[in-house]
Chains A and B, each alone.
Chain A
Amino acid sequence: EVQLVESGGGLVQPGGSLRLSCAASGFTFSSYWMHWVRQVPGKGLVWVSRINTDGSNTDYTDSVKGRFTISRDNAKNTLYLQMNSLRAEDTAIYYCARDPRGPRADLDYWGQGTLVTVSS
């Protein structure tokens, strides 16, 4: 069974940092592009970032470029999102998701999400 489990969310002050993790199981993690998508509670979905299978190719939405870094450890079957210089507008539920036909971004499995709250 495919499973994606996010962790690392929490309350952080503006300007602070967090690292999110997404532990993958039930599939060959190293064969799939992976993405992060966020959602302000009660609002819509926003694509954040993607990474290719070996981590050599990454992309970001404009609002997080230079502040967020996506990475992966295929030996540990884990996806990461390092978030620096956090702003109130980064407050959201962050989901990791698998791209089965990468790079295409029609995402077939999603984690349950981890909530990041940026507030003083």
Chain B
Amino acid sequence: EIVLTQSPGTLSLSPGERATLSCRASQSVSSSYLAWYQQKPGQAPRLLIYGASSRATGIPDRFSGSGSGTDFTLTISRLEPEDFAVYYCQQCGSSPPYTFGQGTKLEIK
């Protein structure tokens, strides 16, 4: 089973700043099979990025994903107030189990 480790655990930034979230895998993950989600309190997760770098439908272009192998990054270029939430990476693919990282909480500084 692939273990995903996200860092930092909590990121404190101000609106307008750039956010960089990291997801490291215990073994190589195909770039086609890495997704990012956003979750706000009391809500279901929302798919942001799939295939490591493709934005899901309706996701603003301030969200971008990159990386390969064992290191992946979610970047939010300029934080809006609605971006403060918890973010999860997920290892996808044709064979389960599908593991999630433990999450990064993005909070307002």
Contacts and interface: CB of A to CB of B under 8 A. Distances in A.
Decide whether A and B assemble into one complex: yes
Interface of A: 35, 37, 44-47, 50, 59-62, 95, 101, 103-108, 110-113
B44 A111 contact: yes
Contacts of B16: none
Interface string B34-51: 010101000111110011
Contacts of B90: 45, 105-106
B44 A112 contact: yes
Pairs A-B, 6 closest by C-beta atoms: A110-B44, A106-B50, A106-B35, A47-B98, A105-B92, A45-B100
Contacts of B37: 45
Interface residues of B, number: 27
A105 B103 CA distance: 18
29 contacts: A37-B45, A44-B101, A44-B102, A45-B37, A45-B39, A45-B100, A47-B97, A50-B96, A60-B96, A62-B97, A95-B44, A104-B32, A104-B33, A104-B50, A104-B92, A104-B94, A105-B35, A105-B93, A105-B96, A105-B98, A106-B50, A106-B92, A107-B45, A107-B47, A108-B47, A108-B50, A108-B56, A110-B44, A112-B43
